[in-house]
Amino acid sequence: MLHVLTIDEALSRLLRHVRPIVRQEILPIDQCVGRVLALAIKSTVDVPGFVRSSVDGLAVRASDTFGASDSLPAMLSHVGTVQMGQIPAFAIGPGECASVPTGGAIPEGADAMVMIEHVEQPGGTLCLVNRAAAPGDHLVRRGDDLQTGQTILPAGHRVRTGDIGTFAALALDRIPVIAKPRVAILSTGDELVPVGQTLLPGQVHDINSPALAALVRQAGGEANLRGIIPDQLDRLDLALKKAVSDCDLVLVSGGSSVGEKDHLQAAIAAQGQPGILFHGLAVKPGKPTLAGVADGRILLGLPGHPLAAWFMAYLLARPLILALQGAPPAGPDIVIARTTSRIPSNTGRESILPVRLAGQPDEPGSYSAEPIFTKSGLITVLSKCDGFIRIERDREGLEAGTLVAVHLLR
Amino acid sequence: MLHVLTIDEALSRLLRHVRPIVRQEILPIDQCVGRVLALAIKSTVDVPGFVRSSVDGLAVRASDTFGASDSLPAMLSHVGTVQMGQIPAFAIGPGECASVPTGGAIPEGADAMVMIEHVEQPGGTLCLVNRAAAPGDHLVRRGDDLQTGQTILPAGHRVRTGDIGTFAALALDRIPVIAKPRVAILSTGDELVPVGQTLLPGQVHDINSPALAALVRQAGGEANLRGIIPDQLDRLDLALKKAVSDCDLVLVSGGSSVGEKDHLQAAIAAQGQPGILFHGLAVKPGKPTLAGVADGRILLGLPGHPLAAWFMAYLLARPLILALQGAPPAGPDIVIARTTSRIPSNTGRESILPVRLAGQPDEPGSYSAEPIFTKSGLITVLSKCDGFIRIERDREGLEAGTLVAVHLLR
């Protein structure tokens, strides 16, 4: 008997065949969240570009304040006020000071700020400072935050919302990103009709095309919907040839179990070398998943069953789409929770089980994870669950109260 | 001295003033991820619409197989093969059986499926079944997954990727969603210039406009960028009047600390009743945050400092944008981790501290959270961190090895 791969084995085998995309595009910063950087982002400037105050108060020469206290304040002469957005035209000499707002530029000659709370102005230009300042107090020096040439984000970084401020701070308004992987999505099955169309008896809607397209888009791919292909070897072969020629990844659902009319394995094998990588996985749901490679393009054959197809696409296609963009695996998307009931599992196959979360995340295990069992695993369970748990193949189920890692769905 | 609000107190006070949006739009299912349902989604069909097989095998009358075993198989006569996508024209009588693929319709008269593994076909129409089937075995009945009229998703649900398959399963191709909240974004400060423009000495780029816009879009809002408003009471007043009249929420950054030129509190108070809700929060960074309400519109005054503005927008504006859509608070976005070093904290003020995560999430606390300290809290820390931790106001820092909840940034 063939060794049946686990999901993780299948994924690492697939990842070895990924040829990262080199096509790039330049996007305005308001369009690049979720995209992957084509080049490292380096600072081209010093930030801040001038010495700034981090408080409201007086710019002073620190040595003028040494020994100052409430009972013996330093007496300084006020020589000016710095305006926001301007470099002061005056300098601070010995015994002098100037008002500077938070973020304002420090005049030449000054080397510290005294907070406004520690200053009294009895009249005229006289300022009384009742606290000693050390050189550098409350100053942000040129380049303190960033120096010219410093790498801020590496190539391959997936842009997050929080990065937009970073780009703006670096005065970047256009960002080079990797082009979106083109992902062909095909459904096979003579019983399928598109969602907009009325069903005749015995027909079912093609759920996989729109469901997988949403997943592809979320992973940063461009969903190329190729429609429903009749379950005939020649038609399937032709559709796959076209998809391999103009897409970076091919997802086909249906036709991968061993029914009479399932020509998918033959059609994938016919696309080129090295051909089939695996057929069948040790997981439930998702067993009939298969994959092949032709001309450096991966073809992933997903189960026809929508929930199984979705989970296999989530666990296999999503990381491939990220890898095509040269992005590291997505960050943690997991919470720890305690199971609310005993969960049986098939020994010998990994189980993927949708769960609902309850509780507050204030401490580990304070979430509870309630398994959602469905008779036929209808796709709507994805709307009812918060995430899923994976039960290893050799584990005979989980007792209630077990701590589990819940993969959150978004 | 005034009672200074915590973030959570401020948020609950703000939420009481939210008037959820009632404007709706109808979107194709490929454009509604992240949007909020305007109406409950109910099933208009039974799913499945006919009795289906969940395996490849033979449709039988279960009673014909009672007592069957390897040594004494039931002998049945094969009367037909069901095609995918068709309702069989024939029925199964006593002693008869028919081939049905996974997902195929069950012929009249049959009440169970026998898996192909338990069938031998020695020749002709004879089928030997070596396992007893119980009525209902391997069948999915009409309406087993969904019944007509059943509520699948409530109004106010924020659509996730996994919901697209649900819509398709319900034969929905257009979905009613709440219109995007219009969020005005204004920056104030005479030292600011737009990101595309070259800096003169003493000037800094307006980081807050693009950074807050990205956050608004992620929360499902429409970012209405109103640019940089000079720090003059009349100009600010005019810009806020316009924003209150045509937007659902107003975010203004800068001008909220107590420097000479800060007219924001007066301008917000001037917009109408009930006026200022709070000025100043017990949090670091974010202390000078303020808010007011006029004509049922919330105006949020954020600090000028970009990192502080971003965190306050994340913790206050994001939940408001969701609440404007009538959406429940966003789901858990938190992992549990152990701190890698001692973290001091300001007693009396909540601290928000960016952290980097390392480790694997296989068990609680197996992540480690390394605090990222920056001198002036530059916005680029958002690109270097994985999330942030909140240290309560009365806690004097955290020892190394403390379990903390890390709010992940996305």
pLDDT digits (tens, 9 = 90+) for B96-147: 999 999 889 999 999 999 999 999 999 899 999 999 999 999 998 888 877 8
What is the C-alpha to C-alpha distance for residues B254 and B190, in angstroms, rounded to an integer?
10
Please provide residue B198's backbone torsions phi and psi, each rounded to the nearest 5 degrees.
-75, 140
pLDDT tens string B177-202: 999 999 999 999 888 999 989 988 77
Phi and psi torsions of A345, nearest 5°: -150, 155
Average pLDDT, chain A: 89
Residues listed for chain B: 410
Percent of all residues in chain A with a pLDDT value above 90, rounded to a whole number: 54
CA distance B189 to B178: 34
Per-residue pLDDT, B242: 97
- Chain A residues with CB-CB distance to B145 below 8 A: 374-376, 378, 380
Q: Which of the residue ranges B38-52, B310-324, B349-363 has the most confident prediction, judged by mean pLDDT?
A: B310-324
Q: For residue A353, is pLDDT > 90?
A: no
For tokens 């998918």, what's the residue?
Answer: A264
Instruction: Test A379 with B165 for CB contact under 8 angstroms.
Output: yes
d(CA B88, CA A191): 13
pLDDT at residue B44 in the model: 84
Predicted confidence (pLDDT) per residue in B236-245, tens digit = 999 999 999 9
**How distant, in Å, are the alpha carbons of A355, B182, B185, B253, B255 from that of B239?**
48, 15, 10, 13, 14
Nearest to A261 among B84, B86, B195 (CB): B84
Quickly state the pLDDT bin for B259 (edges 50, 70, 90). Answer: low
Q: Do B210 and A363 touch (CB under 8 A)?
A: no
pLDDT digits (tens, 9 = 90+) for B394-406: 788 888 888 888 8
Minimum CA–CA partner of B174 in chain A: A196
Give the model's pLDDT for residue A256.
Answer: 55
Q: Do A386 and B331 touch (CB under 8 A)?
A: yes
∠ CA A389-A393-A397, rounded to 5°: 60
More confident residue, A169 or A179: A179
Alpha carbon separation from B190 to A84, A283, A328, B74, B144 (Å, rounded): 6, 61, 41, 90, 65
Q: What is the DSSP string of A161-201?
A: TTHHHHHHHTT--EEEEEPPPEEEEEEE-TTEE-TTSPPPT
**Largest Cα–Cα separation, chain A:** 99
Q: Check if the beta carbon of residue A82 is closer than 8 Å to that of residue A98.
A: yes
Whether A85 sits inside 8 A of B365 (CB atoms) is: no
Angstrom distance (rounded) from CA B251 to CA B260: 21
From residue B21, how far is each of A373, B181, B212, B283 by CA, in Å?
Answer: 36, 7, 21, 30
Contact B225, B159 (CB under 8 A): no
How close, in Å, is residue B284 to chain A by CA atoms? 14
Average pLDDT over residues A69-97: 93
Q: Which of B310, B321, B406, B315 lies closest to B365 in space, CA to CA?
A: B406
Tell me which residue has tokens 């995309």. Answer: A21
Structural contact between residues A335 and A31, judged by C-beta atoms closer than 8 angstroms? no
Q: Is the confidence at residue B327, as pLDDT, over 90?
A: no
What pLDDT was estimated at residue B349? 78
Per-residue CA distances from A266 to A255, A290, A292, B105, B214 (Å): 11, 11, 10, 26, 47
Contact call for B405 and A199, based on CB within 8 A: no
In this model, does residue B326 exceed pLDDT 70?
A: yes
Chain A: nearest CA to B273, how far in angstroms? 31
Can you give the pLDDT at residue A1?
43
Looking at residue B319, its pLDDT comes to 93
Q: Does A313 touch chain B (CB under 8 A)?
A: no
pLDDT at residue number B376: 55
> To the nearest whole angstrom, how far is the Cα of B238 from the nearest Cα of chain A?
22
Q: Chain B 88-127, CB below 8 Å of chain A: which residues?
A: 101-105
The mean pLDDT of B250-259, rounded to a whole number, is 76
pLDDT at B258 over 60: no
> Between A and B, how many residue pairs show a Cβ–Cβ distance under 8 A?
314
A169/B379 CB distance under 8 A: yes
> Which chain B residues are closer than 8 Å to A195 by Cβ?
29, 167-168, 171-173
Least-confidence region, from A46-55, B31-40, B359-368: B359-368
pLDDT of residue B65: 96
DSSP, collapsed to helix, strand or coil, labels residue A408 as strand
pLDDT, chain B, mean? 89
* Amino acid, single-letter form, for residue B273: Q
DSSP 3-state of B354: strand
Residue B331 pLDDT grade (very low, low, confident, very high; cuts 50, 70, 90): low
Could you write out the DSSP letters of every residue in B19-67? -----EEEEEGGG-TT-BBSS-EE-SS-BSSS-EESSSEEEE-GGGGTT
Q: Does A144 touch chain B (CB under 8 A)?
A: yes
**Confidence (pLDDT) at B302:** 95
Contacts of B170 in chain A (CB under 8 A): 380
- Best CA proximity match to B325, nearest among B251, B274, B249: B249
pLDDT at A365: 59
Which chain A residues are Cβ-neighbours of B219 within 8 angstroms?
Answer: none
Q: What is the pLDDT of residue B348?
A: 75
Most confident of A241-255, A320-334, B366-380: A241-255
pLDDT in tens, A283-339: 888 888 999 999 899 999 999 888 889 989 998 999 999 999 998 776 557 777 888
pTM for the complete prediction? 0.82
Question: Region B318-323: what's the mean pLDDT?
Answer: 94
Residue B257 has pLDDT above 80, yes or no: no
Q: Could you please report the per-residue DSSP string of B224-283? A: EEEEEEPS-HHHHHHHHHHHHHH-SEEEEES--SSSTT--HHHHHHTT-SEEEEEE-BSE
pLDDT of residue B332: 58
Q: What does the pLDDT average to over B43-63?
A: 89
pLDDT band, very low/low/confident/very high, at B1 (cuts 50, 70, 90) = very low
| Residue A8: partners with Cβ closer than 8 Å, 6 or more residues away | none
Given a cut of 80, is residue B162 above it in pLDDT? yes
